[in-house]
Amino acid sequence: MQHGLLLIAGLGCGIAHAQKTSEKDVDQKVEALLSKMSIEEKVGQMTQVTIDLILDDNSLDAIDEKKLKEAILNKKVGSILNVKGSAYTMDTWHKIQKRIQEVATKETPNKIPVLYGIDAIHGANYIEGSTLYPHNIGMAASRNPELVRQSAKLTATETRASGIRWNFDPVLGLGRQPLWSRFEETFGEDVHLVTAMGTAAIKGYEEDGLKSPTAVASCMKHYLGYSIPASGKDRTPAYIPEYTLREYLLPPFKSAVDAGTSTVMINSGEINGVPVHASKYLLTDLLRGELGFEGVAVSDWEDVIRLHTRHKVADTPKEAVRLAVEAGLDMSMVPYDYSFYDLLLELVKEGAISESRIDESVRRIIKLKYKLGLFDNPFPEKAALAKVDPKKSQEVALNAARETITLLKNEKSVLPLKKGAKVLVAGPAANNLTSLHSSWSYVWQGNDDRQYPKSTLTIKEGLEAKLGKGNVISAAQRDYNHAANFDAGQLKKDAASVDYIVLCLGEDAYAETPGNIDDLTLDSKQLALASAAMATGKPVILVLVEGRPRVISSIENDIPGILLAYRPSTMGAQAIAEVLTGEYNPNGILPYTYPKHTGDLIKYDHKYTEGIREDEPNTYTNGAYRPQWAFGHGLSYTTFEFSNLKADKATFSAGEKLNLTVTVKNTGKRAGKVTVELYSRDLFASITPNFKRLRKFEKIELAAGASKQVSFTVSPEELAFINAQGKKVTEPGTFEFIVKDQVVSVEYKTGQEN
């Protein structure tokens, strides 16, 4: 046995040595190339332009040779991104990538390949006919990091097969501002949840090694604070105390750096009046100095020039370039012109920016290109194409959609639908594809129905497949905003002959700024349709297809069954139909607090002080967290009982681990999956403690009547918080650990109390 251990240890040392040797070899190659590059070539490497600049003006995918050579030969562009107007076939991608790399590697002095980037954020969403996975907000509801890893790996494989090796994903901002139009791209409101899911995505993208045909460079985004704009509008300012930044926003990025993410994309907005693209503190001191990030930092779309045009911190475009580069930016997503290249070249030649500063960025960019194998073979790889498995993609997408769906309400067990039931399927999302997918789905906005594969089902079609066409009545149209989708008179007429009304409401597709709203309340036309459905006297099942929580408190009380589907994408309609008919037992739980009122946005991890009310003088109650549904809420068609939560010790101290166990029993009549969540509560601390914090979670499956003991291990470091001095500390005192209705208290001692 000892010989086996020595052999394994020896192999481990050998692998580590080989990795260090390989890294050293790459560094030597980078330095050798850097020494030969002109300043023009270096500045070109820092320039990223959109594909429009190399395409024929009258075509969506045909390269204009003159424009291509202007980009690669004259402006020395090092990176290109995006599509023009629609998803491309794999063949089209190959033609585009092949021609770009031919010019870059055969007609330039140093034969430096181009690094192509894309937003493949829930599948290879810019490849025609690809399978798309649920958006992150739904994936977080699954509480299944393995599904995130699997979908990321499949996305990486398909993206790599197209010839693209850089993916602008995952989003690591916390979803704590539900007005924000990119809420659906987040993994929810909790730090631990976002960290776990985001790290799983990075592993899926990169774990096979960047030279592998199943890997792409990941991009943690958007660093930092993008997801909590004060106004709720996209790309607008955030006001973030250092405590909030470090306690809530920084940990997912720290974990991503530790997991080895290759690149970072910068927040388009500003924090406390300073645009992040111009903040040396955030981009250099914190990101590189403190977090230890060594990869490539790229701007978001057009954000360098916006330091001049929008933020007004640079009085000229040239000053905008200087500010961003000196702050620590490596690459500018310009994207529609060569202004960044021209201005940065001027700045270096004038001595306003040193060549050594340029070398820092170019060194990182070139190193990434070496690590991705672009210098070995920059062209689309047959080995990657051979790895694409559409059947596996659909299987994972279906499993993911199933596990995301969250049953919010099931009064009198109205669900599942009774066998042989006749169902009216109504509402704007009933026969619509775009709302199921939303942003980054074949086109940026996801709103072009013509782009979706013909095999993709709507909810109506999904129910027809399960119940039979004769049992489904629907006048719903494909166009979300079609007048027929809001026709209360038609709904009343159709409802006369059915047993149930499945009402599909929520939001149509949107991405970024076009998704800005002023009110979380579901729009009046949809609320009116819900009222009409309730007035028929037939049981109403509400299916919410939305990227953020739209307030439905005015109708919720009279609707017995409510299902939240989020943005389930390609296999979403089938998954919804399976849940409605009882073929699949729902197990998703909320990754955010679902508000009851637009002005009540208190989170589950609110401070004690946020929960104190004084409705009468000198009379205090603790009950201000009163959402429509709480973070972690989600029902099943079976029931689970939690008991016997125990800690292995009554006190623990620095350097020790605390082991907790809880017994979970399926007390219902069918098998089901359930997420076991462990929360902690610090009773007293030098900073006002949170009411509770999620620390661990595990999803298990139990047969009817079966029990399982679930174990969690917690270290003192995992209970730490940022104190008033900005230090991360675990203070002595009593901690409560909570699983559902089970609570156990444990004393933490630092060992210095005596």
First and final CA of the chain: distance in angstroms? 44
In sequence order, the 6+-apart residues with CB closer than 8 A to the CB of 40 are 76, 345
Assigned token pair, 606? 């609110």
Query: DSSP letter string over 359-386?
Result: HHHHHHHHHHHHHTTTTT--SPPHHHHH
Sheet holding 166-167, edge to edge: 166-167, 115-118, 79-81, 47-50, 332-333
Nearest to 566 by CA among 596, 589, 585: 589
According to DSSP, residue 248 is labeled I
Among 208, 298, 212, 195, which residue's Cα sits nearest to residue 248? Answer: 195
Burial 20-41 (b: 16+ CB within 10 A, else e): eeeeeebeeebeebbeebebeb
Kindly give the pairing relationship between strand 423-426 and strand 672-682: unpaired
Structure-token pair, residue 53: 């600049």
Strands 274-275 and 406-410: unpaired
The answer to whether residues 79 and 117 touch, using CB atoms and an 8 Å cutoff, is yes
Measured CA to CA, the distance from residue 45 to residue 51 in angstroms comes to 16
The answer to whether 162 and 90 are in contact (CB under 8 A) is yes
Rg (CA), the chain: 27
The β-bridge partners of 745 are 736
Instruction: Say if CB 371 and CB 262 are below 8 A apart.
Output: yes
Q: Reduced to 3 states, what is the DSSP secondary structure of residue 123? A: strand
E-assigned strands of 183-234? 219-223
- Catalytic (active-site) positions: 300
Which residues have CB under 8 Å from 374's CB, separation 6+? 113, 115, 165
What single letter denotes the amino acid at residue 753? E
Q: If you search the block for the tokens 């060569």, which residue do you land on?
A: 338
